[in-house]
A and B are shown apart, each in its own frame.
Chain A
Amino acid sequence: MELDVVALSRLQFALTALYHFLFVPLTLGLSILLAIMETVYVMTGRAIWRQMTKFWGTLFGINFVLGVSTGLVMEFQFGMNWSYYSHYVGDIFGAPLAIEGLMAFFLEATFVGLFFFGWDKLSKIGHLAATWAVALGSNFSALWILIANGWMQNPVGAAFNPQTMRMEVNDFFAVLFNPVAQAKFVHTVSAGYVTASIFVLGVSAWYLLKGRHLELAKRSMTVAASFGLAASLSVVVLGDESGYLSTEHQKMKLASIEAMWKTEPAPAAFTAFGFPDQKARETHYAVHIPWVMGLIGTRSLTTEIPGIEDLVKSAEARIRNGVEAYDALQTIRASAAPGAIPAEAQAAFEAGGHDLGYALLLKRYVDDPRQATDEQIARAASDTIPHVPTLFWTFRIMVGLGIFFIVLTATFFYLSARHRLDRYPLLLKLAVAAIPLPWIAAECGWIVAEVGRQPWIIEGVLPTAAAVSDLGAFTVLLTILGFTAIYTVLFIVEMGLMLHAIKKGPAPDPEPQAELAPHALAPAE
């Protein structure tokens, strides 16, 4: 891949988005865990639960602030680096982002201040309400951003308007209740809950190994194991749902994840292992498990899943169809007034307009898609294959880790029920070592979702290469360096503070009554 402005803009988006998502999952899950812990505190009145809420809250805060900082970059970057995208789909894509601000960010950010500063200013119930508001707010934000992202994968409820040269919404409820978005939402927040659960589990296991803060650690582990078990089951179920929906909406993504080069008779086999070769279009040393792919992908024994080569053929047909639509569009654009549009052009555009995006795939090779040669059309059609080995491997890492999380949380759930959490040091060490794994799984998940969508920025509607801003490659390189520099520094600082706070452990938490009494500045214990 040459380092032109398209590649650099993609690189910058990938770097900033993957970095942003280091902080998001922990925020999503830990906010809920904090709310659960504080609810127990309010219901039982036992101070240990308040201390737990405050301790995990400190770690939450260190993480949260970087999520906010890096989220701002995401919100602005569409306009900065992807201006044709912003123009082309802003009518649909902008709305969920704005509603995210209205419904979610304000709630989350306004109450997070009270969470930290409101312990002495609010009643127990009042503070609990603030904590739940933070949890709800952060989870709502996931809902709206995934409605936006779901639309990029499955662009429903919109049509192209030749007058304004952009996609415009015609059914907002279709955008809202997009099945891809709903499945992604539950899959993603569940992944966040798993991340937070494994984090709490791992840090608590470390305390148990060190023999510190035993009361806090055991209780935290109980909460994390049960919440984490439910969440990791949910991640897998909804991940399966996402896979099933890709069969319907993103056939190429599914075929590439499976490195399924040719259409196989139903039910297709699942390739558990192998080395996909993009150039030769085959998978070396493949280990197949019969039937599994067909069952997961179609939930039937008779429906075929199309392979990559057949999908390329159908893409070529759609490119030719799109070129005709493109031609009709130029005629429509050239007409002075809406009344003067030739009926023929109008009819041709209505017939082929849904493939207009396929004609834009040719823009990489030729300015006017109508001038494209057969050879260029064939190249554009084979461009519709995403990078198969990347998808194949990231998907398998993600799924493998997902299954591991179920086993791990189920084990600790069992130990907690049997009051044996501190009996098996080896398992505790495993829990500590598992802390980074949910992040790896989550990042792999995003790579599968977004690399799998290539070469499209909006599946079937707008190619990524056509969506960038008219910037110089050097300018984008400059900002990549800038973001990388500040993000690296902040990552080191963040990790340092996080480890410091974990090593320091929870602050002794005096009873609220003691705090209100004068001269009670000394720790109560």
Chain B
Amino acid sequence: MILHTLLDYETLRVIWWVLLGVLLIGFAVMDGFDLGTAMLLPFVAETDLERRVVINSVGPVWEGNQVWLILGGGAVFAAWPPLYAVSFSGFYLAMFAILFALILRPVGFKYRSKREDPRWRASWDWALFVGGLVPALVTGVAVGNVLQGANFHFGPDLRIFYDGTTLFELLNPFGLLCGLLSVAMLVMHGANWLLLKTDGVVSERARTFGGLAAVAVIALFALGGLWLWLGVDGYRFVSAVVADGPSNPLAKTVERASGVWFENYGTMSWTLIAPALGFLGALASLGFSQGRKAVPALLSSALSIFGVISTVGVSMFPFILPSWTDPKSSLTVWDASSSHLTLFIMLVATVIFLPLILAYTTWVYRVLWGKVDERAIARGDGHAY
């Protein structure tokens, strides 16, 4: 196979760095409103019927949305094997917490309304709340820790060792701040979804929570940026950058220094559009949701999520997962990817399937367009949850 040399290794690595972002953003935008809706469930809906309306607003789509996470896992495995290996095992208990919550969530959706017992239903409502909150919070905390650098190093045969990270060390103040930002972002997004899919009192409550969450996003994002500037060291190459060498993370030297996470914005000022969208999206979400314009509000919160996640990526580029106990073990775009051939094959697969996925997903959302039919749920039609 020589076809893969059509695209050089360096270009493919950058493409896959962008696709990594696309997958994370795809997950946060698509599954994000499910998670946000689940977090809002106990607060925007009081009666059983209201709760069923909220659950049914995401009922037909959460399964497809969750695939963004599954695909994210698979694609990181395929395109960035060391990243998959280090992050999933290094954040072992955090990953377990996410999995535990995500096991509860589908079951909660599906099983909650299968029995009439109010205690049964109330238990599953809390399971759904946990299933929304924990992934949102822990993912945010993990990103906060990635920005600070994780505790790992590679042995000579590239075996990974962890230098004593416990779950509680992950819950440091900056990590928690990022976790809260993640929660606020998805609550904002979920509230806009409920604005679109429900009416009446549920919709009104969602509007209030969505507004508060948008304000929180703006405040936490600004605070996070300030903290990053003042209190979090970034990482940079000391040795020359070899962008098309074999993926051996030990072949470089790296140093930590303050302010480094802001250098890319100086050298490439157009990238400032990322943090700008983070703020403006949240601001627009606030405005549109209070004006009861659901579709623009949902698009705005999606844009805000895009901006916030892109900001993290751009700030760290070319680093993906730095190590603070052994900076030269840090994973970067240039030494943590799959082989040239695998990146190419995966790109071909993505180019074929991603447009198809977007096409049929769009079609499904069009079929399901419109508010949740409260009366249909009340009379127990079909397979509604």
Contacts and interface: CB of A to CB of B under 8 A. Distances in A.
Interface of A: 54, 57-58, 61-62, 65-66, 68-73, 75-76, 78-81, 83-84, 86-87, 90-95, 97-103, 105-107, 109-114, 116-122, 126, 133, 161, 163-166, 168-172, 333, 469-471, 475, 478-479, 482, 486, 490, 493, 497, 500-501, 521
Nearest to B341: A169
Nearest to B361: A110
Nearest to A161: B246
Contact of A97 (B77, B158, B246, B368): B77
B64 interface: yes
Interface in B346-385: 346, 349-350, 353-354, 357, 360-361, 364, 367-368, 379, 381-384
Given A83-B85, A84-B85, A482-B96, 5 more contacts: A71-B70, A78-B84, A165-B248, A471-B92, A497-B115
Interface of B: 1, 59-64, 66-67, 69-71, 73-79, 81-82, 84-89, 92-93, 95-96, 99-100, 102-107, 109-111, 114-115, 156-162, 246-248, 338-339, 341-342, 345-346, 349-350, 353-354, 357, 360-361, 364, 367-368, 379, 381-384
Given A70-B103, A164-B248, A113 B59 contact: yes
A61 B79 CA distance: 33
A171 B161 CA distance: 32
B61 to A, nearest CB: 6
B1 A171 contact: yes
A435 B111 CA distance: 23
Contacts of A84: 85, 159-160
A66 to B, nearest CB: 7
Nearest to B373: A120
15 contacts: A65-B109, A66-B107, A79-B85, A80-B92, A80-B96, A97-B77, A98-B75, A101-B71, A102-B357, A106-B64, A106-B357, A116-B383, A169-B339, A470-B89, A470-B161
Contacts, number: 256
Given A75-B70, A90-B81, A493-B111, A479 B60 contact: no
Contacts of B109: 65
A428 B49 CA distance: 42
B96 A98 contact: no
Contacts of B115: 497, 500
A170 B114 CA distance: 51
A168 B86 CA distance: 19
A102 B23 CA distance: 11
A76 B94 CA distance: 12
Contacts of A72: 66, 69-70, 99, 102-103
B81 A166 contact: yes
Contacts of B383: 54, 57-58, 61, 116-117, 119
Given A92-B342, A110-B364, A87 B158 contact: yes
A137 to B, nearest CB: 10
A113 B81 contact: no
A124 to B, nearest CB: 14
Given A62-B110, A161-B339, A90 B85 contact: yes
A293 to B, nearest CB: 39
A109 B64 contact: yes
Most chain B C-beta atoms within 10 Å of own C-beta, residue among A76, A84, A111: A76
